[in-house]
Amino acid sequence: MKRLETVANISVIIAAVVLVVYLGRQEFQRHAESIRPAAALVGQKITLPDVQFGQQGKTLVLAISTHCHFCRESEPFYKDLVARSQGRVKIVAVLPESLEESEPYVRRSIAPSIQVVSSHLDAMGVTGTPTLLLIDSSGKVQQAWVGKLDDKGQQQVQSLVL
């Protein structure tokens, strides 16, 4: 009797582990499919409320969120980028949260000087944060980066905007 109970308990544990692994894979696959690759954004025309792309040659759009830990981990890079750009490129932070929540976060964490816009990210074709978009003066995406950038990605962004 004791042996049967032990086998039943082990069977339940194995079934639970298999179920958790299966559901985890399904969720990961669903999430991975929902993130649009950076290359798909290139060539798309972007419009944002109160943002004029034609005034400067290039605009770097930071599509971020106050709730994104990858965005928070990338703050030192964004802060350095703003400081080193010295106005050569316009930098705009676009967040899906309200301006009341977004502006203090950006001013405190990145820079007080950049424009902050509250907008649904999917209106720009962005499905994940952080996403960086290099926009030309006509509003077309010239280059896009999705996710937290490694050193090589950061260097590529710097070489194109600085």
Closest by alpha carbon to 63, among 43, 80, 41?
41
Whether 72 has a pLDDT exceeding 90, the answer reads yes
Q: Which tens digit of pLDDT belongs to each residue from 124-155?
A: 999 889 999 999 999 999 999 999 999 999 99
The pLDDT-based confidence of 35 (bands split at 50, 70, 90) is: very low
Protein fold of 38-161? Glutaredoxin (3.40.30)
Whether 67 has a pLDDT exceeding 90, the answer reads yes
- Euclidean distance between CA atoms 75 and 106, whole angstroms: 9
More confident residue, 9 or 109: 109
pTM of the full predicted structure? 0.78
Bridge pairing between strands 90-95 and 141-146: unpaired
